[in-house]
Amino acid sequence: MKNKLYLLLAGLIILGSFGIMGCAKEEKNAKVTAEQLIGQDFLLVSLDGEAFPGDTPPGMRFDDNMRISGNFCNRYTGTATLEGGTIKVGQMASTKMACANGYLNNLERVVPAMLMDGADLSLENDRLYIRQGGHEVIYKKAR
């Protein structure tokens, strides 16, 4: 009888630990909300694993009503929707100046396409991850 009680207790402990681990995982992968983004400024860290090569990284800001704005070589703006961890911008407006920086030119091509197509969005440790179509852009919260 004692052995059965110990086995039952051990089983409950093991099952309980799986439940605790599951909760921790859910918390880390929690969906980003508009409230977490509105009023926040972010600075570019990297595109597809390649760190920004300059001293002043491009930024992205989320204003009221989820209007995003930022800059690479050119400034851009658009209104985003956020649903189920996916961010999407219907239309983006941008200036059209020539840019000699290849890294920034690549950003100007990739990031708007990601946002207009709908990209997965996560926020972990003050880092904003935008993923879509095999690309990953990482921003960090500006201080």
Q: How far is CA 23 from CA 10, 47, 57, 86, 105, in A?
A: 20, 31, 35, 22, 41
| Side chain identity, residue 18 | F
Q: How far is CA 36 from CA 3, 6, 30, 108, 128, in A?
A: 51, 46, 12, 25, 11
44-71 pLDDT, tens per residue? 999 999 999 999 999 999 999 999 999 9
91-136 pLDDT, tens per residue? 899 999 988 899 999 999 999 999 999 999 999 999 999 999 999 9
Query: Whole-prediction pTM value?
Result: 0.77
CB 45 within 8 A of CB 58: no
CA dist 74 and 126 (Å) reads 25
4-35 pLDDT, tens per residue? 544 444 444 444 444 444 443 333 446 799 99
3-state SS assignment for residue 138:
strand
